[in-house]
């Protein structure tokens, strides 16, 4: 196990940030805002496992991610000015001991070189949940547990922990930790069986039980695709939590059939029968749900490149609502970025402009997505909008961009001070496809290491979360491509 806590130099990438000043903009169409659409209801019975006694099953190639063809966003009316105001200007360095003058510090870093990343070398899709000394990280097929605050990680095989129901364990895992209930929450996806039934498995456990069982003791509930729709499989998942619920999003029978599900935290913590509710299907193509939801959850999709359709599910209501909000026009051409090794690392995501990051700051919903070059942006980049959820207007629109290389695949969450900690991919020019972390407003991304190769498919998500034990800090998981064709995931903690 590699551990680099001294003398590891972090590279810095400059971000030129455009803050587009926006007057209040009226809602384009009210959608179903008056009465809302009633939520669906499900009751799921819990099951338990302990000991990791099931036979190991080797990872298989990912067979889902259906309807993953390019999906162009239509042109809307011309709103705003897409020309960047500030050039990229800064390159600097910092070390893990905090000896530099950089505003971001890194209390922990480790490379997960025993993770089973080589079994799926294109899309590792890493995720993380942390409570102090106890840290869970996962990718498409692997899980790694640390009991010493990230000092070391040991792989845990999900196929030995849970029964191989449906068509067997697949991929697309998501992890989270809910401090108020001391609850690790683990989402796993299962393939379809011969009858076409597949499932999302939601498992929970307290910190002590995770530690004492070496990550093998869980209570879990299975949600199946036929509970939501007559056709298609559950796929492309995200998860968050608020004051009263754990929320997760998934698609059934294609990206635009997006569902958001909420599960009462009290029932999850009690490990009792689960009375879940769901919204959908909604035209929010593979959208992620807002982190730090408070008393509501939001998700969104592009009606066109100047209209964002925002969906909501408030805790005190039994309906879900839809609203269209004007945003400044953004370039939605075909994205391309040639990495250092000659591969187009954005080839798979060329027109997949889904909402990949979502978080709340008070009453403000923050969404982010990939955007192409064009309209004054010389490279593909990340668009970010802040939406006021009280009057449903655009408050602010920003971009993460650089004239020499591309940014894509953002993910972020606010800390207890309302600061936005993010992870994002970058590549092109002198860089192979890599990723790094930073805090919004510093105009810098810090990378723990650079990839030595690129693929034509960078991956669907990387993850940055608020620390479960230190709410002013974040934890994140990313990865690098290695020249031998493997993937090396990493865990990192950071603070402002």
Tokens 């840290």 sit at which residue? 135
Number of domain units in the chain: 1
Q: pTM of the entire structure?
A: 0.91
pLDDT at 9: 36
CATH number at residue 43: 2.130.10.10
- SS3 of the chain: the string is CEECCCCCEEEEEECEEEEECCCCCCECCCCCCCCCEECEEEEECCEEECCCCCCCCCCCCCCCCCCCCCCCCCCCCCCCCCCCCCCCCCCCEEECCCCCCCCCEEEEEEECCCCHHHHCCCCCCCEEEEECCEEEEECCCCEEEECCCCCCCEEECHHHHCCCCCCCEEEEEEEEEEHHHCEEEEEEEECCCCCCCCEEEEEEECHHHHHHCCCCCEEEEEEEHHHCCCCCCEEEEEEEECCCEEEEEEEECCCCCEEEEEEEHHHHHHCCCEEEEEEEEECCCCCCCCECCCCEEEEEEEEECCEEEEEEEECCCCEEEEEEEECCCCCCCCCCCECCCCCECCCCCCCCCCEEEEEEECCEEEEEEEECCECCECCCEEEEEEEECCCCEEEEEEEEECCCCEEEEEEEEECCCCCEEEEEEEEECCEEEEEEEEECCCCEEEECCCCCCCCCCCCCCCEEEECCCCCCEEEEEEEEECCCCCEEEEEEEEEC
Residue ranges of the chain whose pLDDT lies below 70: 1-34, 59-68, 85-101, 114-122
Gap between the Cα atoms of 57 and 463, Å rounded: 26
User: Is the sign of the CA dihedral 193, 171, 122, 367 positive or negative?
Assistant: positive
Residue 441 and residue 421 in contact, taking contact as beta carbons nearer than 8 Å? no
Gap between the Cα atoms of 198 and 439, Å rounded: 38
Gap between the Cα atoms of 239 and 237, Å rounded: 7
Strand duo 393-401 + 381-388: pairing: antiparallel
Structure tokens at 45: 């019975």
Nearest CA among 284, 311, 227 for reference residue 37: 311
Q: How far is CA 358 from the centre of its chain?
A: 8
80: left (phi over 0), alpha (psi -120 to 50) or beta: left
Residue 290 and residue 240 in contact, taking contact as beta carbons nearer than 8 Å? yes
Within 10 angstroms of residue 462's Cβ, the number of other Cβ atoms is 27
Q: Compute the residue count for the chain.
A: 496
Within 10 angstroms of residue 134's Cβ, the number of other Cβ atoms is 22
Gap between the Cα atoms of 317 and 223, Å rounded: 22
Q: Containing domain of residue 7, as a range?
A: 2-495
pLDDT at 2: 39
pLDDT at 85: 61
Strand duo 463-466 + 444-447: pairing: unpaired
Gap between the Cα atoms of 91 and 483, Å rounded: 25
Residue 139 and residue 489 in contact, taking contact as beta carbons nearer than 8 Å? yes
């Amino acid at each position: 196990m590699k551990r680099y806590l001294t003398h590891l130099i972090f590279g810095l990438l400059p971000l030129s940030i455009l803050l587009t000043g926006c007057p209040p903009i009226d809602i384009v169409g009210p959608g179903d805002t008056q009465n809302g659409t009633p939520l669906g209801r499900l009751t799921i019975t819990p099951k338990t496992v302990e000991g990791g006694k099931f036979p190991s099953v080797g990872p298989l190639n990912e067979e889902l991610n259906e309807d993953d063809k390019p999906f162009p966003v239509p042109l809307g009316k011309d709103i705003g000015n897409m020309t960047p105001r500030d050039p990229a200007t800064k390159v600097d360095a910092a070390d893990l001991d905090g000896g530099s003058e950089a505003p971001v510090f890194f209390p922990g870093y480790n490379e997960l070189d025993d993770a089973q990343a080589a079994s799926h070398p294109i899309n590792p899709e890493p995720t993380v949940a942390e409570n102090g000394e106890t840290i869970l990280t996962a990718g498409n097929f692997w899980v790694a547990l640390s009991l010493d605050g990230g000092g070391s990680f040991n792989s845990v095989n999900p196929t030995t922990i849970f029964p191989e129901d449906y068509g067997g364990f697949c991929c697309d895992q998501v992890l989270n930790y809910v401090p108020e209930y001391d609850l690790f929450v683990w989402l796993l996806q299962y393939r379809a069986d011969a009858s076409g039934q597949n499932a999302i498995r939601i498992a929970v456990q307290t910190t002590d039980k995770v530690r004492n069982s070496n990550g093998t003791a869980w209570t879990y509930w299975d949600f199946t695709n036929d509970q939501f729709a007559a056709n298609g499989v559950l796929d492309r998942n995200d998860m968050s939590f608020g004051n009263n619920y754990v929320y997760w999003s998934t698609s059934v029978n294609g990206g635009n059939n997006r569902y958001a599900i909420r599960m009462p935290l009290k029932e999850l913590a009690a490990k009792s029968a689960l009375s879940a509710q769901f919204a959908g299907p909604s035209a929010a193509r593979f959208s992620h749900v807002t982190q730090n939801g408070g008393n509501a959850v939001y998700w969104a999709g592009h009606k066109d490149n100047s209209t964002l359709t925002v969906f909501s599910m408030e805790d005190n209501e039994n309906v879900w609502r839809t609203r269209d909000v004007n945003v400044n026009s953004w370039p939605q051409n075909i994205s391309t970025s040639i990495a250092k090794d000659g591969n187009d690392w954005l080839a798979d995501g060329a027109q997949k402009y889904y909402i990949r990051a979502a978080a709340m700051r008070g009453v403000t919903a923050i969404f982010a997505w990939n955007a192409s070059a064009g309209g004054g942006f010389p490279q593909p980049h990340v668009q970010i909008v802040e939406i006021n959820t009280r009057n449903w207007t655009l408050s602010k629109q920003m971009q993460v961009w650089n004239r020499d290389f591309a940014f894509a695949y953002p993910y972020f969450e606010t800390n207890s001070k309302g600061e936005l900690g993010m992870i994002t991919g970058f590549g092109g020019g002198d860089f192979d496809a890599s990723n790094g972390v930073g805090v919004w407003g510093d105009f810098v991304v810090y990378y723990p290491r650079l990839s030595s190769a690129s693929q034509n498919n960078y991956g669907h998500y990387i993850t940055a979360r608020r620390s479960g034990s230190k709410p002013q800090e974040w934890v994140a998981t990313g990865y690098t491509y290695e020249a031998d064709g493997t993937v090396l995931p990493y865990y990192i903690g950071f603070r402002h």
